[in-house]
Amino acid sequence: MRASTFLTSTFFAATALAHGNIVSPPVRQAGAVTQQVCGAQAVSALTTDITGPLENVASNGSPDCNIFLCKGIQFEDNQNNVQEFAAGEQVDFAAEIPIPHEGPCNVSVVDLATNTLVGQPLISFASYADEALAQLPLNNTQFSVTMPTDLGTQCQQPGECALQWFWFGTNAQQTYEDCVDFVMTA
Ligand SMILES: [Cu+2]
């Protein structure tokens, strides 16, 4: 009896606190500047559950806080976290999806100043994280992208571009994002 009560409450805790996130490369983490821009409530939601959907993150309404761009997390909190990639380099991703929700997913280069995609997605799944499957395909949690070779002078300054993982759980109506800040080296 005691054991089953324990298991039940553990299960519910896990359900409430886990959906999915990128484990590597390192992704943006909310800090003091994000708190200034988006508010303490948003930062609390972002740090209490890094796997949670954007819909759980309440913005303070500031026009500078766009939850749907890198979760609202500001570059200034992540200046020491900028990755260096070369054109044509293969970048390996690891994701955790404790609570899958079927839907589309992609990883794209995002121009952070304009919140627009640069080129085509580097990888894209029409159906990702399908909870109806007994086991998720390995490439849902371990996949690679190849850095574009046609960026020209784009993405050479820190804070200019990020690799953004985007996943939308269609039935759950939940959006997931993680951003990897990067510069192109050569
Ligand atoms: Cu979820």
pLDDT in tens, 159-181: 999 999 999 999 999 999 999 99
CA of 151 from ligand 1 middle (Å) equals 34
Render pLDDT for 98-144 as a digit per residue (tens, 0 to 9): 999 999 999 999 999 999 999 999 999 999 999 999 999 999 999 99
Q: Tokens at residue 82, please?
A: 């900028």
Sheet hosting strand 161-169, strand order edge to edge = 83-85, 174-184, 161-169, 103-111, 116-128
Contacts of 178 (CB under 8 A, 6+ apart): 21, 22, 27, 28, 70, 71, 164, 165
CATH superfamily of domain region 20-184: chitin-binding protein cbp21 (2.70.50.50)
Q: Tokens at residue 164, please?
A: 């953004």
CA of 88 from ligand 1 middle (Å) equals 33
CA of 9 from ligand 1 middle (Å) equals 18
CA of 114 from ligand 1 middle (Å) equals 28
CA of 149 from ligand 1 middle (Å) equals 35
Render pLDDT for 13-58 as a digit per residue (tens, 0 to 9): 444 556 999 999 999 999 999 999 999 999 999 999 999 999 999 9
CA of 174 from ligand 1 middle (Å) equals 6
CA of 19 from ligand 1 middle (Å) equals 4
Comparing CA positions, the residue from 97, 95, 91, 98 lying closest to residue 181 is 91
CA of 158 from ligand 1 middle (Å) equals 31
Q: Domain residues of the chain, as ranges?
A: 20-184
Render pLDDT for 81-95 as a digit per residue (tens, 0 to 9): 999 999 999 999 999
CA of 55 from ligand 1 middle (Å) equals 10
The reported pLDDT for the residue numbered 17 is 55
Q: Tokens at residue 139, please?
A: 């490439």
CA of 109 from ligand 1 middle (Å) equals 24
CA of 50 from ligand 1 middle (Å) equals 11
